[in-house]
Structure 1
């Protein structure tokens, strides 16, 4: 896991982000999030507002986004929270970036299923593109982080890049994926071998007709029951 720490709260950071407020694109969504909770319970909106703030920072910086301390303080005020409470939430959940990241945040799962299925090869492909864990490439394009389970164990190894999962990876397919992103080309999310969601590799092993259409097996089961 990467270390979790806040970017230093230096004057330059305050100058850049001290006046943060919702822009026209994000203000309506912020209002909707706060509107879900009654007075006295606005603190419950802290996670969606932190996510929204990170996305706005991402738009402004051309990256995935991150949470400078002044931005966290703004969200805390919106929720009626002491700043330290919002900072506790931001530092707990790895979905929140506490330091600047690149345009593409490459989060490689290194937990046991992915490790056994080749996460080292995925990391090797990332290293070949000049990435280092916990760092952003000099061109600002990629940030590499090794994370714990991302919940796609059946399709290991996988990475999450910004909001999308890429599964069933090899060293070669990872390299091709990174090249496509760097070139601004469209990429296929999910399984990279054509697997449907988390079906067995190679396709279904039972109820195969359900993969073609909404096939009704019940008459066959009824006949089998009558003959028993």
Structure 2
């Protein structure tokens, strides 16, 4: 636990003595319990502890123009320069179009990546969009009730107008679907084509103050919360 960043050895022992630690679903109260990082699952206060030191999960603020891919035959910018410095083979969780910037998760934890991308776990995603036109009050209800797209209805979980102007507005939309260009298509369907789109959150992970092209590791309670939303 100390090696996994939970706290010092003494702090970890205090957690165990207080009954805050479980191994494979069983509360452990005696220090010295040996675990196998490749098989055993440890939780502290209900949050998963990543024991495998080879696993790495990053948040990238993907810049505009970068493809959600590790290589491209046409020589377009890809994710490769942001992954190479880690020395690990990371994969992107889902995609962002080249003309959409913001939060993209990169990981070599296959089970975490699978669950985050699987629609059954309904992981929420938050976007901030600049759109054309003055957004009328009824647009929020239309999006939350659902709009018809060519591949079926789509519904926003939340919709907020952040700035409203006659010619252009800024909105925030939250949804848990991941269909291709779904935010752009939903907003166009209600008469407000997107001119700029940024993803600011995925599940409990926020973009925060990361500048375009910067990354940060998802560790500790942030990683535990991310695993919790997909049942790990």
Structure with higher helix content: 1
TM-score of the aligned structures, taking structure 1 as reference length? 0.27
Q: Over alpha carbons, which structure has the higher Rg? A: 1
TM-score of the aligned structures, taking structure 2 as reference length? 0.26
Structure with higher strand content: 2
